[in-house]
Homo-oligomer: A and B are copies of this chain.
């Protein structure tokens, strides 16, 4: 086995981006069943949106010029010559000194270049009193102003959120080519680990609780999870079960056993799964140092630390990025990080990134992060937490009131 140098958090992210590529399998899905899937090809508009000039208000379509000089005290006067109905063509034109009623969303009649809101005029027996001057284009969305025919609406690699589905629907696009859903395998190891359903524990036993947190996070990320059970600290059994599960999934997660313990076979098992193999063995991070990241035959393998809080932090931080890359998502932004002011001074060793669980609260119109004190084995510290604060490895700590990046834990 090779010798591995402990990596910094930044090095780990760079290595993930370098080593992990998206899957190739795609499928065509109806858009109503495509939430959170990632586009495998760009989507082009086949028509203008909107398809006609529309009013954004209830009002009267006019020539803007005809309202110039209008005010509450000196209204202008226009002749109401008709009405546009919703969903119907506006064929009758608006001439000079004329006005046609248009509801919100209604089509703008020819000849008109603006709509005066009903709040700013009054129809007195067919004579429209205008109390405000309006500019050309006011209260109108022009044909193609939202999306132009032929334009790329969404790039390949875009994750489909509710608003992207709305944009696709507005174009009459009902199906999209996306990368298929991922399946992740989870395997626990350790002589002391027993199934989480175990009612009464023997002395020394620990329930396999990381499975529940990992599976919950995967569900949040719309990824299926296969539970591979628990293997004892026996290399042959461990390697066999890992290989069987690995063959059925897109990514394998091994929980526990990545400490320096005497019975630690995790690294060897991971190396046995294929090449190029382990690319991160240990990260200068607290908690979570004994993390292992690997790629075997294009599939990521993640060796998580056994402590519940460590496992969750590591999986949130690195697991999510690995899986988003594997999904084919183009990662240009990190909108999942947010910022808050810290309530206490926090010391940190230089050269090591510390991740601190915090609860978030609002005070005086700002977000504050309150560190939760507790050992990394304590599940209650996670239950109390709304997020994880990063104390970057270049810093020796953070001061009360400083803004810090927070990874929300939902």
A50 touching B167, Cβ below 8 Å: no
Report the minimal beta-carbon distance from A73 to chain B, rounded to whole angstroms. 22
B165 touching A216, Cβ below 8 Å: yes
A86 touching B212, Cβ below 8 Å: no
A340 to B403, CA, bound (A): 10
- Which partner residue on chain B sits nearest A85 by CB separation? B191
Asked if A106 lies at the interface with its beta carbon under 8 angstroms from chain B, I say: yes
B196 touching A163, Cβ below 8 Å: no
A262 to B83, CA, bound (A): 11
A267 to B139, CA, bound (A): 25
Asked if A209 lies at the interface with its beta carbon under 8 angstroms from chain B, I say: yes
- In the complex, chain B residues whose CB is within 8 Å of the CB of A54: 377
A106 touching B204, Cβ below 8 Å: yes
- Produce 1/0 per residue, A338-381, CB < 8 A to B: 11100000000000000000001110011100000001111110
Asked if A23 lies at the interface with its beta carbon under 8 angstroms from chain B, I say: no
- Which partner residue on chain B sits nearest A141 by CB separation? B377
- In the complex, chain B residues whose CB is within 8 Å of the CB of A105: 190, 192, 206, 306-307, 377
Asked if A89 lies at the interface with its beta carbon under 8 angstroms from chain B, I say: yes
A333 touching B360, Cβ below 8 Å: yes
Residues of chain A in range 370-408 having any CB-CB distance to chain B below 8 Å: 375-380, 382-383, 385-387, 392, 403, 405, 408
A162 touching B378, Cβ below 8 Å: no
Q: Which of A31, A193, A209, A219 has the most CB of B within 10 A?
A: A209
A145 to B145, CA, bound (A): 61
Asked if A233 lies at the interface with its beta carbon under 8 angstroms from chain B, I say: yes
A interface: dominant SS: loop
- Which partner residue on chain B sits nearest A378 by CB separation? B146
Asked if A7 lies at the interface with its beta carbon under 8 angstroms from chain B, I say: no
A204 with B365: in contact, given A199-B172, A220-B162, A335-B408 (CB under 8 Å)? no
B118 touching A87, Cβ below 8 Å: no
A383 touching B216, Cβ below 8 Å: no
Asked if A2 lies at the interface with its beta carbon under 8 angstroms from chain B, I say: no
A235 to B309, CA, bound (A): 57
Report the minimal beta-carbon distance from A86 to chain B, rounded to whole angstroms. 4
- In the complex, chain B residues whose CB is within 8 Å of the CB of A307: 56, 104-105
B161 touching A104, Cβ below 8 Å: no
Asked if A181 lies at the interface with its beta carbon under 8 angstroms from chain B, I say: no
Q: Which of B52, B162, B261 contacts A103 (CB 8 A)?
A: B261
Asked if A312 lies at the interface with its beta carbon under 8 angstroms from chain B, I say: yes
B204 touching A86, Cβ below 8 Å: yes
4 nearest A-B pairs in the assembled complex, by CB-CB distance: A162-B216, A87-B192, A338-B338, A163-B382
Could you give 14 example pairs across A and B, Cβ below 8 Å?
A86-B204, A103-B262, A104-B306, A105-B307, A105-B377, A146-B377, A147-B380, A162-B213, A162-B219, A163-B383, A165-B213, A165-B216, A166-B379, A167-B379
